[in-house]
Amino acid sequence: MDKFTKLTGVAAPLSMINVDTDMIIPKQFLKTIKRTGLGRHLFDEMRFGADGSENPNFVLNRPAYRSASILVSGENFGCGSSREHAPWALLDFGIRCIIAPSFADIFYNNCFKNGILPIALPNEQVELLLDDAERGANAVLTVDLEQQLITGPDGGSITFAIDPFRRHCLLNGLDDIGLTLQQIVAIDAFERNQRLGQPWLWA
């Protein structure tokens, strides 16, 4: 998993509440277990028409936001089913940070496991960031995880809270496998001792 330390990028405004996981990645694209290639289907039913043509009014299709790496949205982001394909699709598109007043619990947890930083802020602060994000290509935010600080295009800043353990994992690029591998010396020692003391388990 890639480390998340400081991100400077265009912020796209998605001023919607209850953005569910089926909006993020519709069910027909859940046939794969690969984490790559899903970005082209992100928000598929809003980004594209029935004939496959782009909807020019959808924010991520607008030229200024095609390379957005930050998404600013409304309450209860990521609600609905627990599909992990939702953060996979966001990450594959290039979104590394989502800012909203609140998140669905399972989606929130899945973000951290996939290298995405979800930041929950009070409504009034999200509204300020949505206003910043409306500036198009000038809607550049810097998200500093080490300092727990968001800096806007005019230099104003907002602090945010995050669980220390999750912060540690993102800063060091540690998913569940990475955390386990930190104990590889102890794991190897346990297996060596088990082979000696209980060899039938390894037959």
Spell out the domains of the chain, with CATH numbers in brackets.
Answer: 6-172 (3.20.19.10), 174-203 (no CATH)
pLDDT of residue 179: 76
pLDDT of residue 92: 97
Q: What is the pLDDT averaged over residues 80-96?
A: 95
CA 71 to the chain's CA centroid:
9
SS3 breakdown of the chain: % helix, strand, coil, rounded to 5? 40, 20, 40
First and final CA of the chain: distance in angstroms? Answer: 34
pLDDT of residue 146: 97
Q: Is 12 in contact with 129 (CB distance < 8 Å)?
A: no
Q: What is the pLDDT averaged over residues 173-177?
A: 85
pLDDT of residue 74: 98
pLDDT of residue 196: 86
Mean of the per-residue pLDDT values of the chain: 93
